[in-house]
Amino acid sequence: MFMFGFVTIMQGLVQSPSGLYATRFFLGVFETGMFPGCFYLIGMWYRRHEAQKRFSFFFSSTTLAGAFGGLLAAAIGKMDGLRGYKGWRWIFILEGALTVAVAMIFFFVMPDFPEESKWLSADEKAYVAARLRLDQGQSARDRPITLKDIGRVFKDYKVLVAGFMYFGLIVPAYSYAYFAPGIIAYYGYSPIETQLHSVPPWAAAFGYCMLVATLSDYFMHRFWFAIFSICVSITGFGILVSVHDNVNLQYAALFLVTMGTYTAMPIIVCWYNLNLGGHHRRSVGSAWQIGFGNLGGIIATFAFVADDAPFFVTGYSICFAFAAISIIACVIYGYGCWSQNRNRDKTPVDVGLTEYEKTELGDLNPEYRYLL
């Protein structure tokens, strides 16, 4: 996180195209571990049926950034010429400096595990660790991760499927984030009106995301909440593909797209992440899901082209298709969890495993049950 902020500052200070290319490369390098790392840390503190609200709130920072990031950038842009720097440079410098400051604070106050916390008493540490152990098994926090561990993780087909769950939603999510202002502008709004009309879909996505997350935790269930949310997104894309003469309906469809897409994504990440037992499986598995899924951003970049304006049928169809891929992957993953739970219910509870062996197996331990 510190290096991500530092490179962002450097991006505001570059003086040549080659310097910009270099900073963009290293920005991606250091950003890679931030998202899965944050989800990993959240998962090490909360039980599975408590975590969705936390995951969704953290993830919804992207929707809030989408709602207000443009307005903030416009305000910073008014610093154009200050100390000889263009306004766009100040955007990178100030936002990068804030990231560096937050990273330095978190380095001293944010422990990786409850047992390492300096602001919990010994009894509180033991309580938090015990409740997590009952829900998720041993964390194996003292155990280093080996190459053999990585290989074992990828032998589980559910891990590979989880990557496609996220990959399928990254395409519509990034497509909207990249092209929403341009799409809205084609509805006939002025530049200022376009900026203002881009805010409500993001705000609606945040509210809907937190509502669904609360219900998901309350019912201790993920599968149907993820499926329903993706269907909401698909409905929005279906309207956008087929309706070209009703601006109000097209604009309303953007609400469905944002609400469905940006609600399903944290559910999928939380569901999969916290179903992985032990930090040696969770750290590898969560990095795979986010890392592989983000490759969808490459497709999103080329989904909407100027020649397809103003209806963007090709772009919307691509998003529709990849959202459908996510649903298929969710069904496969959900069935895998359900079938393994059923098979384990049929086997004897005591299969003669030591506590060490159970810890090594993580969620593959016969006593472990996946959250559906």
Q: Tell me if 96 sits within 8 A of 5, measured CB to CB.
A: yes
d(CA 262, CA 118): 34
d(CA 140, CA 283): 11
d(CA 291, CA 294): 5
Q: Considering the domain boundaries, does residue 348 fall inside one?
A: yes
**Confidence at 180, pLDDT banded by 50, 70, 90:** confident
Q: Residue 120's domain is classified under what CATH number?
A: 1.20.1250.20
Q: Tell me if 290 sits within 8 A of 39, measured CB to CB.
A: yes
Question: Whole domain around residue 305: which residue ranges?
Answer: 32-364
**Number of structural domains, the chain?**
1
Which is more confident, 62 or 100?
A: 100
Position 143 scores a pLDDT of 66
Helix, strand and coil percent figures for the chain, each rounded to 5: 80, 0, 20
Mean pLDDT of 141-147: 71
Q: Is the pLDDT of residue 44 over 80?
A: no
Q: Considering the domain boundaries, does residue 7 fall inside one?
A: no
316-355 exposure pattern, b = at least 16 Cβ within 10 A, e = fewer: bebbbebbebbbebbebbbebbeebeeebeeeeeeeeeee
Position 350 scores a pLDDT of 63
Instruction: Say whether the peptide bond before residue 17 is cis (omega within 30 degrees of 0).
Output: no
Q: Is the pLDDT of residue 144 over 80?
A: no
Mean pLDDT, all residues of the chain: 86
Q: Considering the domain boundaries, does residue 15 fall inside one?
A: no
User: Please, which contacts does 185-192 make with residues 24 or more away whose CB atoms are closer than 8 Å?
Assistant: 186/309, 186/310, 187/247, 187/250, 187/251, 188/247
Q: Considering the domain boundaries, does residue 8 fall inside one?
A: no
Q: Considering the domain boundaries, does residue 114 fall inside one?
A: yes
Q: Considering the domain boundaries, does residue 13 fall inside one?
A: no
Q: Considering the domain boundaries, does residue 79 fall inside one?
A: yes
Q: Tell me if 45 sits within 8 A of 129, measured CB to CB.
A: no
Which is more confident, 329 or 368?
A: 329
Share of the chain above pLDDT 90, in %: 38
Q: Give the pLDDT confidence of 269-324 residue by residue, as tens digits.
A: 999 998 988 777 888 888 899 889 989 989 998 998 888 888 899 999 999 999 99
**Confidence at 83, pLDDT banded by 50, 70, 90:** confident
Q: Considering the domain boundaries, does residue 208 fall inside one?
A: yes
Position 229 scores a pLDDT of 97
Q: Give the pLDDT confidence of 208-266 residue by residue, as tens digits.
A: 999 999 999 999 999 999 999 999 999 999 999 999 989 999 999 999 999 999 999 99
Which is more confident, 218 or 131?
A: 218
**Confidence at 71, pLDDT banded by 50, 70, 90:** low
Position 152 scores a pLDDT of 86
Q: Tell me if 270 sits within 8 A of 35, measured CB to CB.
A: no
List the single range of 18-22, 45-49, 304-308, 352-356 with lowest mean pLDDT: 352-356
Q: Is the pLDDT of residue 29 over 60?
A: yes
Position 211 scores a pLDDT of 96
Nearest Cα to 187, choosing from 317, 309, 65? 309
Nearest Cα to 30, choosing from 101, 108, 100, 117? 100
Mean pLDDT of 56-63: 83
Q: Is the pLDDT of residue 31 over 60?
A: yes
